[in-house]
Structure formats: structure tokens, C-alpha cells
Amino acid sequence: MSLRARPEPLPLAGFTVGVTAARRAAELGALLERRGAEVLHAAAIRIVPVADDTELHAATGQLVNHPPDIVVITTGIGFRGWVEAADGWGIGEELIGALRRATLLSRGPKSRGAVRAAGLTDAWSPPSESSAEVLEHLLASDLEGVRVAVQLHGEPLPDFVDALRCAGAQVIQVPVYRWVLPEDLAPLDRLLAAVLDGSLDAVSFTSAPAAASMLSRADELGVLGPLLQRLRRDVLVACVGPVTAGPLVARDVPTVQPERSRIGALVRTLSEALPARAPRWPVAGHVLELRGHAAVVDGVLRAVPPTPMALLRMLVARPGRVVPRAELLSVMPAAGDDEHAVETAVARLRAALGAPRLVQTVVKRGYRLALEPGDCR
């Protein structure tokens, strides 16, 4: 009789991933959960409605009265919101007419789709979908006296705008929407706490304002230093693209990014990067892999309760070496100095792993992960 092969655990099973997105958070969360992750969502930003923004109204009126030569469209949602706001102010047709006479540059396929949905045609879009490549394209031409309108995407672009002005362009900034902190900061504070206490394995970002907002909130709470230490060392930071990663890279936080700036590609990148970080050991004839809140033993996912998991982490930190009961007690604050509590927790750990021989008792000394030090990797 042939034995059926056990199915491999889902790539993100056992990991907890933070989602900071304000838009499309449900879609991103569902994709992560489909691959086995537990998701902690906390929007790091919210959008100020464009119709309430007097700066946008003023910029739109300026462009209608004195049409630009070139318009840079950075986001699809921003462009659509701009047109809808202009319609609400009664100058929608005039705005479309001014844009039709200009050369339109789209930063990516979403902005291109929004432009074409408005009955307009863009002249060029960068393969990289990056503002840097748009700027390089613009600077390749003579910009002396050229009127360039730049649709901002939630935050200022001072370097982009300054470079155009230095090249002689007249720049009109179009603040289509602005990002601000959420009205309810409790979810974001919980996400920050999860990063700091080690219960989060990865955190994802789909916009630069969300990354900047989380760092700003940590600074307000006085925990920016510890947060950066965690993000640099223990927590995988995944960004949808290089623009999104900008505020984090500026703080020396390493990030992973997909080749294409898409939510699906971001999830695939996480699904590859997180398991690759999970340590593995040959232990007592088994293969043990340690994930965020679970272990994988011989390819089978095993849920491990918090206290036994704390013991397991201490044991794997010194694989093959004896860890005294007193040291194991240090990660069990509720147990006080009761060494019997360690025995109970170890019994629970063995039961959770489904392989009692993984954790060996060393009489009168403590416990060890049952492998030789040279076997670990």
C-alpha cells in the first residue's frame, strides 16, 4: 500500500503579517490569508477628500486659465479624483480641454488607465513606473519656460519639483489628495506594539505616506529607536515598490520588493522571503523549522502556544546545548521561581511538536534541543 505524501504547509502558515494600507487593505489581507498568514491590519493613513481641498481648487483654476505644456499624472485614483472634483466645481470640461492640449505623461498603467478613461491619451509612461524615470525623461528635453503641472500623490515631491525648476520649467503643483494620520490611532498603535514585542513577522507597505506615517507615529510615542532596531533586524519589511520604500530606506531599514509594483506580486514576494528566513535544524531524526507562532516538523505545521514557543526559541538559540531550568524560567514571568512550571511547559511543548524526542531532558541540569552543535545551520 502506498502512502500519500503529506501536503506542504502553506507558504505563510505560522507567520503574522502587518498590513498598513488604507486602500485595498481587504484585498491584500485576503491574499495573505489565502497563503496561510495571520493578518494584523492597521491603516497608517487616511485620505483628505479632494473636494474639500482649496489648494486643489486654486491649482485647477490656474491650469484652466493658463493651460500647461506638460502634465505628469502620478496615480490613477488621484487623477480620477481631480476630474471628479473639477466636475463638482463646474469646471470639469474646461480642465479636460486644457489637459487635451498638453502632453500627458503617466507614471504607470493605473494612471494611464485613468487618463484614457477620461477620453485623453498619454504620450509616454516609464517601464519602471517610477517618478525618477519620469524626471529623467523630462530633463532630457529643453524645459526653459515650459509649464509643467505635476499631480502629487499624497505627499510633496520637493526633489522632483526643484529639479524641474532648476532646468528652467515653470512648475504648477497639483495636490489632488493629501494623506494624514487616521482619526483613530489605536489600531496603528497596536501594530507598532506588535512589532516591538516580536509578535509580528513582517509588515507590508503599499504607499510611501503609510511608511512615513508609521515612523512619525513611532516618533511621537517615543519608540522610533526600538522600532527601527526591530525593522532592521527581526521583522521583514515588504514594500510594493521603490517609491514606497523611500522613507524606510532613508532610515537604513532593509526592504524586499517585487519586480512589478502590484499587490499580487507583493504577496508572492512575502511568500518566498518569509519561509526563506525561517531557521531549520535536523533534530533527533526529524527536521524542525521555526516560524513566527508555529513550528514545522517534517513538513507538518504545528501550532505552539506562546509559553512553550518562548521555551522553544530559547532552546533553538543554543541548539544542542543544555539550557538550565532557571534560564527557561526567565521567559515565564508568571511562574515565579517554580521550576515545576518549566516541566509542565516542556511537556506542553513536546505535545505541540508531536515528537517528544526533539526536546531532551538532561537530569539535574535542564533541557536541550536533541542535536549536536555542528548539525545546526
Give the domain-ending residue among 160, 179, 198: 179
Please identify, among 277, 302, 337, the residue that sits at the C-terminal boundary of a domain: 277
Asked if residue 339 is part of any domain, the answer here is yes
pLDDT at residue 348, as a whole number: 95
User: 172 lies in a domain?
Assistant: yes
The residue with greater pLDDT, 7 or 278, is 278
Instruction: Please state the domain count of the chain.
Output: 3
The Cα 277–Cα 282 span in angstroms is 16
Higher-scoring residue by pLDDT: 91, 110: 91
- Are 67 and 152 in a shared domain? yes
Average pLDDT over residues 245-265: 93
Hey, is 29 helix, strand or coil?
Answer: helix
Q: Average model confidence (pLDDT) for the chain?
A: 90
- Cα 128 from Cα 112, distance rounded (Å): 14
Judge whether 356 lies within some domain.
yes
| pLDDT of 377 higher than 50 | no
Angle at 149 (CA atoms; ends 148, 150), nearest 5 degrees: 115
Helix, strand, or coil here: 44?
A: coil
DSSP 239: E
Q: Are residues 83 and 124 in the same domain?
A: yes
- Shared-domain flag, residues 74 and 174: yes
- Residue 112 belongs to some domain of the structure: yes
The residue among 148, 179, 210 that closes a domain is: 179
* pLDDT score, position 2: 40
Label the pairing between strands 103-106 and 294-297. Answer: unpaired
Q: What is the pLDDT of residue 155?
A: 65
Residue 292: per-residue pLDDT: 92
Whether residues 336 and 272 share a domain: the answer is no
What are the tens digits of pLDDT across the range 260-292?
888 999 999 999 999 999 988 899 889 999 999
CB atoms within 10 A of CB 287: 12
* Confidence band for 32, pLDDT divided at 50, 70 and 90: very high
Range of the domain at 141: 48-179
Does residue 208 share a domain with residue 131?
Answer: no
- Looking at the fold, whether 267 and 169 belong to one and the same domain comes out as no
**CATH code of 113's domain:** 3.40.50.10090
**With 80 as the cut, is the pLDDT of residue 3 above it?**
no
What nine digits make up the cell of 35? 497563503
Number of neighbours of residue 192 by Cβ within 10 angstroms = 25
> In this structure, is residue 6 part of a structural domain?
no
